[in-house]
Structure 1
Amino acid sequence: MTIQTISPAEAKVLVAKGAALIDIRERDEYARENIAEAHLLSLSAIENGDRLGPFDPFDTVIFYCQSGMRTAQNAQKLADAVAPAKVLLIEGGLTAWKKDGQEILADKSQPLPLMRQVQIAAGTLILAGVILGFAIHPGFFLLSGFVGAGLLFAGISGFCGMARLLAIMPWNKR
């Protein structure tokens, strides 16, 4: 089964005609910015068995994520979550929606999404380790190696200690 992608403008027209628009990003991403007409049903919730609906075969459901990658990679899983409805994906996701000049709801008082915080923290620690390793003592290169090993472990195991640590920081408390 091939699942079609559509442009943000086409999605806007279909939503105005009654199509359901579903954001599959995580709650922290959705809280920071989203499309006003969208419902949140994160990919992790779908993987845990959550569903919206019921849908009929003549219903249209449009999914989006940040860049379109998550929706494309999980298209069949998304289709199964709203079966038997017709499924469409917004090509380029929320990024394309904004680039197309479509309106979004943004709450910049919300913290950055957790994965972006991890990227910022890891990048800062690696860069600091390299700079300090050259400028002060080669032992600081171990900091970069430690962070790199942590990222490798997180990728393999699915457990990210840095994300867990950042999640309990005061700025991430809701």
Structure 2
Amino acid sequence: MSSALTPQQLHPRLDHLTVIDVRTPGEYAGGHIPGALNIPLDQLRRALPELREAAGRGELAVVCASGSRSQQACEELTAAGVPAATLVGGTDAWAEHGHPLDRPEGGRRAWAMDRQVRLVAGSLVLLGLVLGLFFPMARWISAFIAGGLVFSALTNTCGMAVMLGKLPYNNRPRGGADLDTTLAELRG
């Protein structure tokens, strides 16, 4: 079982923890906790040796936008024998408590993944309904998206977010380090 930290608990310990941000590079560039290293959730397994080494030197804190992906990451890390704590409420809660977010020079603010999912899901539902006026079978687009959203809520996973996370604008480092540089820093 992974542990959890509130923004009030994390802030005074920030200099003594290794903070891992599991959002996409685009989201990370839009604002991250000072000193946080970016290892996207879909790259976590690749980073396990370095994360295990970093955890041996001190505590790991894992963050995302709201806490959902970081909780998932902590569960994966715990299953791999790497202790880590999640930030409850993520960077959203961090900023709401008045703590600063670093934004790299040249870092374009990317939409948070949940916002990207809402845009795509809503657009596809509308498309299915509009096309359904002319082609009744097109309503199945809306039904498929609705089923996906229900499945996402029940399992606390999101296939659409995984797919969107692989798009180029979510994967290019913007003012931050690429994964290989981040892993080298963790080894350091």
What is the TM-score when the length of structure 2 is the normalising length?
0.63
Sequence identity (%):
21
Q: How far apart in 2 are the matches of 1:173 and 1:88?
A: 25
2:30 paired with 1:35: no
- Could you say which structure has the higher strand fraction? 1
| Cα separation, partners in 2 of 1:148 and 1:50, compared to 1, 3 Å | farther
Q: How far apart in 2 are the matches of 1:56 and 1:128?
A: 47
Q: How far apart in 1 are the matches of 2:56 and 2:47?
A: 20
Structure number with higher relative contact order (C-alpha < 8 Å, ≥ 6 residues apart): 2
Match of 2:24 in 1: 26
| Cα separation, partners in 2 of 1:109 and 1:59, compared to 1, 3 Å | closer
Q: Contact (CA 8 Å) 2:22, 2:73: kept in 1 or not?
A: no
Q: Please list, as runs of the form range in 1=range in 2, the aligned pairs for 1:158-169 lying within 5 A after superposition.
A: 163=163, 167=167
Match of 2:121 in 1: 122
What is the TM-score when the length of structure 1 is the normalising length?
0.67
Tell me by how many angstroms 1:152 deviates: 5.2
Aligned residues: 160
Tell me by how many angstroms 1:142 deviates: 4.9
Q: Structure 2, unaligned stretches of length 5 or more? A: 153-157, 173-188
Q: Structure 1, unaligned stretches of length 5 or more? A: none
Match of 1:139 in 2: 134
CA radius of gyration, larger in: 1
- Could you say which structure has the higher helix fraction? 2
Deviations 1:118-167 (A, max 9, x none): 4313313423554x47xxx82266555325436757979x876xx57x93
